[in-house]
Homo-oligomer: A and B are copies of this chain.
Amino acid sequence: MAKNLEISTLLDYYGMLLTDKQRETVEYYYDDDLSLGEIAENTGISRQGVRDSIKRSETILLEAEEKLGLIKKSGMLKESLAEIRKNIDTIDEKNMKVYRSDIINESIKSILNELKKLDEII
């Protein structure tokens, strides 16, 4: 069973779709880097039970991304927001150096504030 960095990301997005027990097992394995034996000790499940639980959880997480595509969407959102931020910086620089418009400055501040909120949501 190869440890997969991607599973940690899937857990961030879809961890809520697992049962508490499944999530605990997978988090031990992927986030805390415990061995199957250590997880078995911590949870009181057999080593094979831990392995099965992790396999089952991986399937649920991978299928969730296949069906809902949140990670893919999130990547696209982030790209667009980065592009918006870049262009806002351009406008800001031009305004600061040349026009010094308070109205433009206020609008830029509001936009940056919204971009910050968006970063927290996605």
Contact = CB atoms under 8 A, between A and B. Distances in A.
Contact of A80 (B68, B99, B107, B117): B117
Number of copies: 2
A2 interface: no
Contacts of A68: 14, 16-17, 68, 70
A115 interface: yes
Contacts of A73: 121-122
A16 B87 CA distance: 36
B103 A84 contact: no
A101 B94 contact: yes
A98 B83 CA distance: 26
Interface string A59-82: 000001001101001001100110
